[in-house]
Structure 1
Amino acid sequence: MIDLNNYAPAYFTWIANKLSSGASQAYLAAFDVGIESWRVLVLLAIEGSISAQKACGIIGMDKASMSRCFKSMQARGFIELALDPQDGRARIATLTQSGRAMHDQIRDIAMARERVFLSVLTAAERKVLLDLLRRLHENLPAVEIATREHLSRHHPHALQRKKNTEPASRSGVGQRT
């Protein structure tokens, strides 16, 4: 039996779900913008423009969700979409002035939420926490390799099932580029 008090993935899941849910409710109520659109706005504010594939890899969204998010954001005037000149199939999103203004408004709430969330930690603890989180994030590919190895040894049928149901176009998605 798993001891949930000492099982890190449970805490990550609970915290992420509750933070996302609370943020989504606040952003939807104030700006009619959901959490997925907010995450894309953040990336675009940093990058200026980004491909759907790169955004998927960083955020961890699947292609279909990202496509819907891009379409919704384009319809609201937050982004402009164009074909990637280097890959005519890929779409590149660019933040519009309206999108930047929306980002800046939501950023105030997001930063206030982060401030309160981390307020139980000292400045030194916050620095250590962020370092640990970065290292854990960087270790995720090793987790996926270990998972595939475990499945290969103990549940080989699972890998075969995944191979049969996974679209060929998904290869490379989820990797940070």
Structure 2
Amino acid sequence: MADRNLDDNIVYLISSFSHHFTRALAAAFQRSALPITPEQFAILMLLAQEDGINQQEISRRLERDKTTVTRMLTNLIEQGLVRTRKDAVDGRARIVHLTVTGRKLQEDAVSISASLYIQALEGVSGREIDQAISFLQRLNATLRQIR
């Protein structure tokens, strides 16, 4: 592989896109007075898909360390967006649920995120998007095996 500058490096470009999208999403949430970060939004999205999972599962699915997830959940609990209860099977584990307020905020955040997503992909064909998704899924699968 020939030496290339960063603008030709796929890892850098993926990271750069992620960074810019996350910053734009945070700014959009702030403009809309949504009191969450993009990282907290990921937790709300996961719970909207599968409410009532434990903190360890959230950490595993979002590929975030347990300390970071605990800190984010503490903030979400303080805001009244999620609640936790002890797991009936494993008393050490905490099961996490969206509150009514959390579900409403998550729905509002989805609208904002979808709008930004559409803007970011303006001019990109559906076929290109499908190819990019497939490509990134393969890269992620390969990297998971390397770890």
Determine if the alignment matches structure 1 residue 135 to structure 2 residue 138: yes
Name which of 6, 9, 12 aligns with 2:11.
9
- Secondary structure in 2 aligned to 1:89? coil
Query: Closer, same or farther in 2 for the Cα pair 1:29/1:64, shift >3 Å?
Result: farther
Unpaired stretches in structure 2, ≥5 consecutive residues: none
User: Paired residue for 2:77, among 64, 74, 77?
Assistant: 74
- How many residue pairs match? The answer is 144
Separation (CA, whole Å) in 2 of partners of 1:129 and 1:75: 38
Q: Which moved more, 1:99-108 or 1:43-52?
A: 43-52
TM-score, normalising length: structure 2:
0.88
Q: Distance in 2 between matches of 1:28 and 1:61?
A: 23
Q: What per-residue deviation string (whole Å, max 9, x for no partner) do you get for residues 135-172 of structure 1?
A: 2222221232xxxxxxxxxxxxxxxxxxxxxxxxxxxx
Match of 2:122 in 1: 119
Identity of aligned residues (%): 22
Q: How far 1:80 sits from its partner (Å)?
A: 1.1
CA RMSD after TM alignment: 1.6
Task: Please give the alpha-carbon distance, in whole angstroms, between the structure 2 residues aligned to 1:125 and 1:101.
Answer: 33
Larger Rg: 1
Specify which of 20, 25, 48 is matched with residue 18 of structure 1: 20
Distance (whole Å) between structure 1 residues aligned to residue 27 and residue 46 of structure 2: 20
| TM-score, structure 1 as length reference | 0.75
Equivalent runs, 1:14-163 vs 2, <5 Å: 14-30=16-32, 31-144=34-147
Report deviation, 1:50. 2.1
